[in-house]
Structure 1
Amino acid sequence: MAEDICHNITTVSNRIQKACQRAGRNPDEVQLIAVSKLKPLEDIKRAFKCGQLHFGENRAKELQDKMADYEEESLQWHMVGNLQTNKIKYMVDRVNWIHSIEKKKYLREIEKRASRIDRIINTLIQINISGEDQKSGCTAEDVPDILEYAQGLKHVRVRGLMGMATYVGPDEAEQVRPQFQQLREIRDQLRTYEADSVQLDELSMGMTNDMEVAIEEGATMVRVGRAIFGERNY
């Protein structure tokens, strides 16, 4: 199993490199986030031994438990799933990135909690680029107000945008290219709001089936679960 995870990480890394070559990009510009949703902590430890440093979780309780049970300092934890205000207090002492900000109240709570322990939390604003009701995220029109609020924060950094495209099969990824294009264009338009705690360098978009297209459209973070850890047992 450990060998499988190492092999999978290498395979995904090769996919990232090839996509970057096609796009004329440096592979170092793209961070692989291994999403271990519903997978045991032992799988994370195996992946870490293979050189993987960035790990994402979709559920706050699972993230909380794994962070508490694995205190490896060089590991970077990412919250990539739906956020709830009352869960933030359980993650601020260890989480490094929160991708799913869609309201000012989340930034307010992170600032309050992080200020008490003098930590700085990196965040991304999630935009609903698929237009699907079941997907989280704000609209592009909501973002300027959020960014203006974020500019004055001391313990929160807004580093970019996150989006989840419509789910497609591995042979249908081209269908969601316009959604990734849209997120990049929104980010570029919002650059005028960069100041102090707002620096919009990051685009978190692309998963197992569509990450190549996302990278070609400017992704700096790809969130990959199944291609690394295998199918999940729901």
Structure 2
Amino acid sequence: MNENGGKGTGGIETSRVDANGGRAGGVETNGVNWSGQETSFEGISRPDVSEIAGRWESLRDKVAAAASRAGREENAVSILLAAKFQEPERVAAALRAGGSLIGHNYIQQLEEGERALTELGAPFHRVHVIGHVQANKAGKAIRAADCIETVDSPKLAARLDRLQGERISAGELRKDGSPLGPFDVMIQVNSAGSESQHGVDPSGVVDLAGAVADLPNLRLVGLMLIGANTDDVAAVAASHARVRELRDAVQAAGVASCTELSMGMTGDMEIAIAEGSTEVRIGTAVFGPRPVMKQTRSQ
């Protein structure tokens, strides 16, 4: 039920927990290999782009209602639009309807998608990386995104810190023209202990958080969950609760900036919100069914 990429072998990423699809970069992906990603929409019916605004509004209302039922403020939970394999026109429609945050699994698709959204005159928005970041893609990721939610090792954190330090020293600016500061990151937690998913084992989260907090050019803003891939509601709730407890433990250890909980997808967002999620990552509820994923090459 996840919206983020799973782990494979030989440089191949499986799609069992991927976000939802469409066309990408304006190129039809039905039976076409686009950027190494082979997908098919054969037999799949998707909502028209004209319906996306209404689907966004419905989702926004559901998220607000779920927060209210959990005794939280209606605006306590932000919505990240999982944009993997979505045509820029569809993403732009969701942004114009009120979305302000999108997430990408693959860096190449992020870069190409952002260029297309600029050409379309899409509203200002933030971009998060929600897929695994390979070492050779770290430089592109840190330049293209506003936050990387998938830090899962001291090595990756150190690399991102060095790269951001180089950007600051070179006088690079933010999108709004202001000076760069520390780069926002989250730690990805694999609370289910699944070998098919990236992320840190819960037992290592507090130590990794301390290591990230010591890096001058990164700011740890929260934890991101790859949850239990099961229909057992109690198990799903327990995985979300565990990450909330870990966030609290990280704060208790002195990392006050670690406030966010990125957890919950289309299928389990109400459970996640009840357990304290501050950001849900949604693709299907806005864009419709995902394509049949044949295989995906790491970006």
- What TM-score, normalized to structure 2? 0.72
1:90 Cα deviation from its structure 2 partner: 0.9
CA spacing shift, 1:69–1:115, aligned 2, 3 Å:
farther
2:188 is paired with a residue whose SS is strand
Aligned to 1:61: 108
Q: Are 2:94 and 1:42 aligned?
A: no
Q: Are 2:276 and 1:218 aligned?
A: yes
The higher radius of gyration belongs to 2
Q: Are 2:224 and 1:162 aligned?
A: yes
CA deviation string 1:118-170 (max 9, x = no partner): 2332111111112221111111222233222222323211111111212346x
Q: Which ranges of structure 2 fall in alignment gaps of 5 or more residues?
A: 1-47, 169-179, 294-299
Q: Which ranges of structure 1 fall in alignment gaps of 5 or more residues?
A: none
Distance 1:208 1:73 in 2: 24
Q: Are 2:212 and 1:181 aligned?
A: no
1:207 Cα deviation from its structure 2 partner: 0.1
1:73 Cα deviation from its structure 2 partner: 7.5
Aligned to 2:191: 129
CA spacing shift, 1:180–1:154, aligned 2, 3 Å:
same
1:175 Cα deviation from its structure 2 partner: 4.3
Distance 2:135 2:88 in 1: 25
CA spacing shift, 1:175–1:151, aligned 2, 3 Å:
closer
CA spacing shift, 1:22–1:4, aligned 2, 3 Å:
same
Aligned to 2:215: 153
Letter in 2 for 1:220: T
Distance 2:138 2:123 in 1: 20
Aligned to 1:70: 117
Letter in 1 for 2:209: L
Contact 2:263 2:281 in 1 (8 A): yes
1:80 to 130, 139, 148: 130
Q: Are 2:163 and 1:105 aligned?
A: no
CA spacing shift, 1:113–1:67, aligned 2, 3 Å:
farther
1:5 Cα deviation from its structure 2 partner: 0.9
Question: How large is the Cα RMSD of the aligned pairs?
Answer: 1.8
2:59 to 12, 19, 29: 12
Letter in 1 for 2:114: M
Identify which range, 201-210 or 178-187, moves more after superposition: 178-187
CA spacing shift, 1:174–1:164, aligned 2, 3 Å:
same
2:150 is paired with a residue whose SS is strand
Letter in 1 for 2:193: G
- What TM-score, normalized to structure 1? 0.91
Identify which range, 25-34 or 114-123, moves more after superposition: 114-123
2:194 is paired with a residue whose SS is coil
Distance 1:150 1:58 in 2: 22
Aligned to 1:92: 142
Identity over the aligned pairs, expressed in percent?
A: 26
Letter in 2 for 1:215: I
Contact 1:180 1:217 in 2 (8 A): yes
Aligned to 2:39: none
Between Structure 1 and Structure 2, how many residues are aligned? 230
Q: Are 2:257 and 1:199 aligned?
A: yes
Higher relative contact order (CA 8 A, sep 6+): 2
2:142 is paired with a residue whose SS is coil
Identify which range, 132-141 or 115-124, moves more after superposition: 115-124
CA deviation string 1:78-134 (max 9, x = no partner): 111112111111122231111111101111121122222223321111111122211
CA spacing shift, 1:73–1:46, aligned 2, 3 Å:
closer
Distance 1:175 1:159 in 2: 26
1:81 is paired with a residue whose SS is coil
Q: Which has the higher helix share?
A: 1
